[in-house]
Chain A
């Protein structure tokens, strides 16, 4: 059977150390656009529903990466993805490497077979030295994750905890990402 010839998708290249100029220009003192993208993932997040996630991305030398951009993508409390909310763009602090995200806890999205998926936030990461983006997910509960159909039958059970944040309390989470080493985070490819 002859399938139509597909075009090759354009190769990725690193975003480089100066990605802020194009992606978060106000940090570099350039204030020409109407608005920065993804400043808040949802409009009007109430104190009651707000959660705070912070952390650092550690490189293979265990140094925090100070020039990374993270884009997060998540569903709403009902498990629905919508093209006009759920997106946030954050950068790691140019001195400390810490990122901070204020958002809401996503609901359980419904799988095509009707079952419920575990609740998670997608992290899409670029920086100098990354020829391609790194994609990971922050889940909230390890039990939840183990039952997630998508992740059933994979042989990385001893690394699943890399997708779970340290929970300070119901509203505050620390999610560090490790590129290498004993705690190397699971990264996804699709």
Chain B
């Protein structure tokens, strides 16, 4: 029983998933009040520049290195309704592919003007926007050394814990996507495309900032199976 649009927990091409996924089947139960409720966050926790990663860590008058981009889109539910008040947190590597993190082993330089994280709460029409720089690709140990496609991590809180989602946005046209084992852990090839931010030339600005469009859909209350029906249903 699997949801083919969601990744397999254990996927042999992604080595660290082997010891970090259960061997036994999960226990399917009906949602109750603990799944159909969740924390809500208010605008009060957000500073004005939290969604501008080119400003929120940099020294006054300075900018991080790299191609400046907007990443924007709508958060929707499975019926296509736009979702307001969704807290989005993002994090990413700098333009050279280095994370501001003590456990990042790479000897690429940190960018003193780039922290690499941002926050936003969707507006009443479900819209969000971040300004940032395009992250670099970087190598990591998997089956030998492999390269991660350029990506931005996204974390979202819907209105109930069932909708809690952590995912990654990739960049349209990146040739590293098709060999990425994390992308390929999703059985449904069409669903993999849902993770790709599309170049959005309507969102360029001042002939120097590129735009990418990335819409996100959060699940509903029902257990939905697009390929395999749950036994007994």
Contacts and interface: CB of A to CB of B under 8 A. Distances in A.
A32 B115 contact: yes
Contacts of A164: none
A55 interface: no
A13 B169 CA distance: 9
A8 B167 CA distance: 14
Contacts of B19: 59-61, 63, 129, 179-180
Given A12-B166, A124-B161, A190-B223, A131 B9 contact: yes
Interface stretch (A44-52, A96-104, A148-156, A165-173): A148-156
Interface string B179-219: 00011011000011011000000000000000000001111
A131 B117 contact: no
A8 B226 contact: yes
B29 A14 contact: no
Interface of A: 4, 6-23, 25, 28-30, 32-35, 37-38, 59-61, 63, 65, 67, 71, 73-75, 81-84, 86-87, 94, 109, 111, 117, 120, 122, 124, 126-134, 150-151, 154, 156, 179-180, 184-190
Contacts of A150: 29-30, 32
Given A83-B38, A129-B17, A131-B11, A18 B26 contact: no
B217 A81 contact: no
Given A18-B99, A60-B19, A184-B23, A37 B6 contact: no
Contacts of B80: 7
B90 A22 contact: yes
Contact of A23 (B16, B26, B76, B89): B89
Contacts of A185: 22
A33 B47 contact: yes
Given A130-B17, A131-B14, 11 more contacts: A9-B218, A10-B165, A10-B194, A11-B192, A13-B182, A19-B91, A30-B117, A34-B46, A87-B38, A188-B27, A188-B28
Contacts of A12: 6-7, 165-167
B228 interface: no
A34 to B, nearest CB: 6
Given A19-B153, A34-B46, A187-B26, A13 B7 contact: yes
A21 B20 contact: no
A38 B31 CA distance: 23
Nearest to B162: A190
B218 A94 contact: no
A132 B4 CA distance: 13
15 contacts: A6-B220, A9-B220, A21-B100, A32-B56, A60-B23, A73-B39, A74-B34, A117-B32, A124-B161, A133-B164, A150-B29, A150-B30, A150-B32, A151-B29, A190-B223
A116 B86 CA distance: 31
Contact of B78 (A6, A16, A20, A25): A6
Interface in B85-143: 89-91, 99-104, 115-119
Interface of B: 5-9, 11, 14, 16-24, 26-35, 37-41, 44-47, 50, 56-57, 76-80, 89-91, 99-104, 115-119, 153, 155, 161-162, 164-168, 182-183, 185-186, 191-192, 194-195, 216-220, 223-224, 226
A-B residue pairs, 9 tightest by C-beta: A22-B91, A129-B20, A129-B16, A60-B19, A131-B7, A87-B39, A81-B37, A83-B40, A9-B219
Contact of B57 (A32, A61, A109, A186): A32
B89 to A, nearest CB: 5
B26 A180 contact: no
B17 A10 contact: no
Contacts of B50: 32-33
B39 A131 contact: no
Given A6-B224, A9-B217, A34-B46, A18 B20 contact: no
B20 A128 contact: yes
Given A4-B79, A59-B20, A189 B38 contact: no
